[in-house]
Amino acid sequence: MADGSREETGDANSSGQSAAVAAGGLSGPFWGATFMICACTCFAVMAVCIRYLKDDQTSIDITFWRSVFGTCFMLPFMIRGIRSGVFRTQKLGLMSLRAVFTYIAMVTYFYAIANMSIVDAVALNATIPLFTAVLAAFLLPELVGMRRWTATLIGFGGALLVVRPGFQELSLSMFFAVGSAVFYAGAGIVVKVLSRTEPTTRIVFYMNLILLLIAVVPWAIHWNMPKSWEAVGFLLGIGLSGTLAHICVTRALAAADASFCAPFDFWRLFMVTIFGWLLFEDAGSVWTWIGGVIIFSSAAYITRREAQVSRAAKAA
C-alpha cells in the first residue's frame, strides 16, 4: 500500500466495526475486500496523476500539494478532533520523526513514478512489508521466525527480478523506489511504537499536520507553481485519490483482518499495469510481473504470519 497507508491504518481495531458491518447484511470480509480494491484503484489513479505531472511539477512540488489538498480534504475530521481534545499528545518527537520519514518516502516514491516505468516503481514500492520485517527484527523486541525471514528473502529476490542488475542499467529512480519503501517501513516502525499509547486518529492527525509544515519549506525555496489548470486538476486528483485511498484502507482493516486484506494489495499492480498500458504504453515487462507476484505474495504471507503470531501471543 503506497503513500504510507500501511503505517497509518495498520493498527485499526477490527472486531467492533466488523460486527457493525455484518449487521448491515454483508459480511466483514466482503467489505474488507471491497474497500481494499477501492483503495488500490485510488492508489493507481494517484500514480497516473503523478506521471502526467512529471513535466510540470517536481516530486517536491507534488509532495507539497499532496499534503495541502490532503489536509484540506481531511479538515472537517481534524476540526472535530481538535474540539474534542483527542489530539493532545506527549509524543511530539516521535510524531515528527514519523512525518520526516514519510516526507522522504513520498518525495522519492513520486520521483520514481515520474521517471521510470510506473509498473516497476509500484512493484518495488511493494517491498515495504519486507523492510518492515527486517527493521522490526533489529529495532523492536519482536522475534522474527525462520518462516518470515524466508518469505522476506524470497520477496527481495522478487525485487531483484524487477531490477535485474547486470541485465539493465540501474538508475537513480530504481534506488529511489526502493529507498521510499525503506523510509515507509521506518515510518511504520515508529507507528508501531506510537500505537502502544496513541490512538490511530491522533497519529494520522499529526502526520498530516507536521508533514505539511515540513513540505512547505523546500517548496517555498523551490517555488514552482502549477503552469496550467490541467496541472491543478491533476494535483487535486492526487490529493483526493490519496485521501480516499487511506480512508478505504482504514475501512477495510476495520471490516476484516489485515491478514485477509493484504493479498488484495496485488490489485494495485494490476490496475497500474492496465493504466500504464492504456495511457503510457507502459505495461512493464514479464520480469516485472514475475517479480511483482513474488513481492506481493511474500508481503501477504508476512502480514498473515504476523497476525497469527499476534493472535497466539494474545491467547497465551
The residue extents of the domains of the chain are 5-315
Matching residue, cell 467489505: 31
Q: Taking a C-beta distance cutoff of 8 angstroms, is the pair 254, 12 a contact?
A: yes
**Which of 267, 268, 258 is CA-nearest to residue 300?**
258
In whole angstroms, give the CA distance from residue 71 to residue 58. Answer: 20
Reported in sequence order, the residue ranges of 109-234 that DSSP labels E, i.e. its strands, are: none
Residues making up the chain, counted from first to last: 316
pLDDT over 80 at 96, yes or no: yes
pLDDT band for 194, please (50, 70, 90 cuts): confident
Cα 107 to its chain centre, rounded Å, is 13
Q: How far apart are the first and last CA of the chain?
A: 31
Res 14: pLDDT: 35
Higher pLDDT among residues 61 and 73, named by residue: 61
Per-chain mean pLDDT for the chain: 81
Q: What is the pLDDT of residues 116-141, one digit of tens each?
A: 989 899 989 888 888 888 888 888 76
Packing angle, helices 172-194 and 92-115, rounded to 10: 160
Closest C-alpha among 8, 240, 221 to residue 105: 8
Q: Which of 296, 204, 272, 313 is closest to 46 using CA atoms?
A: 272
Give the three-class secondary structure for 57.
coil
Joined grid coordinates for residue 160:
531483484
CA distance 219 to 76: 25
Among the listed residues 151, 106, 96, the one whose alpha carbon sits nearest the alpha carbon of residue 129:
151
Residues 234/53, Cβ–Cβ less than 8 Å: yes
3-state class (DSSP) for residue 165: strand
pLDDT-based confidence at residue 295 (cuts at 50, 70, 90): confident
Q: Could you tell me which of 81, 109, 145 has the C-alpha nearest to residue 305?
A: 145
Cα–Cα separations (whole angstroms), residue 216 to 66, 148, 153, 184, 206:
11, 39, 38, 20, 15
Give the residue from 273, 299, 4 showing the smallest Cα distance to 117. Answer: 273
Q: Could you report the per-residue pLDDT of 249-265, keeping only the tens digit for each? A: 877 877 777 767 777 88
Q: What values do phi and psi take at 143, rounded to 5? A: -90, 110
